[in-house]
Amino acid sequence: MYYRKKKHNNNSRIWINTTIGVLCGVIVILFFVVLLTQTGKPPVVKIQDAGLQQTESTVTTTTTETTAPSSPLLIYPTEAVDLTSLTDANIVSKHALLLDLENNEILAERGNINERIYPASMTKLMTLVVAVEQIDDMNDTFTMTYDIIAPLIEAEASRAGFSEGEVVTIQDLLYGIALPSGADATTAIAQYISGSEEAFVDLMNEKALELGLENTHFSNASGLHDENHYSTVTDIAMLMEYVMQNDTCREILSTYQYTTSQTEQHPEGILLENTMFSRMYGNEVNGMTIEAGKTGYTDEAGHCLVSYATSDSGKNYIVVTAGGNTYWNPVFDTFAMYGIVSNGYPMPTDLTTAPMESNVDTITESNLTE
């Protein structure tokens, strides 16, 4: 009896040990299965302050949207059904566009409106709006330096006329950018806001991305020629639309003359004059009033002009011209294009047979890089 009982106990222990081993094996297998199925899943980041749970993948998406917004502020215009196609018989400017802002439609164009151009000082539209959006105090001041002025003189860039050591208000710099197309004011405002022109240009390119300008890139804040500094007449028109929505920018670009504050270097201030309104009154096209604009010129860009006009019926339009041969080409091309809307200015039909205009202008400023 004793022997048989002992044998029974040994069998029970073997069975128990086997069962435990099998269970442990199953547990280990289940552990690895769970581990493998969870591999690659992002951990959950708890944001206790917001009372929300957010995965790392969501955080990454948010960062990407900040860099490249999925919904740009501006929408590219479409061509009107009755689009007017212009040629060299109608206008001299090699690239041109007439935009109806109410319907976001292109009413007239010459050339490939999405082909890259050099924008010259039409660049300063972006410089102006980025600066205005960054500035808190228009009465703050900036001291002009030799390092700003000397390179611009050497480059024959257009300047507002501020002197080395002159203490200039921020408001005066803004008018110096937009009216006489002053590269001295442009560089100064860039340094005031960002510490350097390079850092300010980063802000300009970020704004272009935010607006959705797909064919625009800036290398400097003035519009001086650079192979990597480009835009299109379409992008410039869209930029002008955005700029004119800012009350401060609109007021500055609509001003004909402005006198800067009195300083030691300029006791009577500097009289600044709008390079567009020095060539027109703004009422040359019947039924239209040209309210604001920005000129541009480099050897590579040719003579350029972007302008904003309102019809007698209250509708708003933008004309962009680029690649003009002379100082006056963009002006008369602009008149003719606004005339399409109001029938208030004749459209040339035979410019190709007209004698070639001289590229030598009597106005000294036009020979400077704007």
Catalytic residue positions, numbered? 121, 124, 181
Q: For residues 126 and 321, give the distance between their C-alpha atoms in angstroms, rounded to a whole number.
A: 17
Q: Which helix (H) or strand (E) holds 260?
A: none
Q: For residues 328 and 348, give the distance between their C-alpha atoms in angstroms, rounded to a whole number.
A: 15
Helix (H, G, I), strand (E, B) or coil at 263: coil
Residue 309 CB-half CA count within 13 A: 35
Q: What is the largest CA-CA distance in the chain?
A: 134
First to last CA, the chain: 117
> Between the CA of residue 201 and those of 205, 213, 311, what are the distances in Å?
6, 15, 35
With beta carbons less than 8 A apart as the criterion, state whether 120 and 297 touch.
yes
With beta carbons less than 8 A apart as the criterion, state whether 255 and 175 touch.
yes
Q: For residues 156 and 219, give the distance between their C-alpha atoms in angstroms, rounded to a whole number.
A: 18
Nearest of 340, 362, 320, 351 to residue 111 by alpha carbon: 320
Instruction: Determine whether 210 is exposed, middle or buried from the number of CB atoms within 10 Å of its CB (0-12, 13-18, 19+).
Output: middle
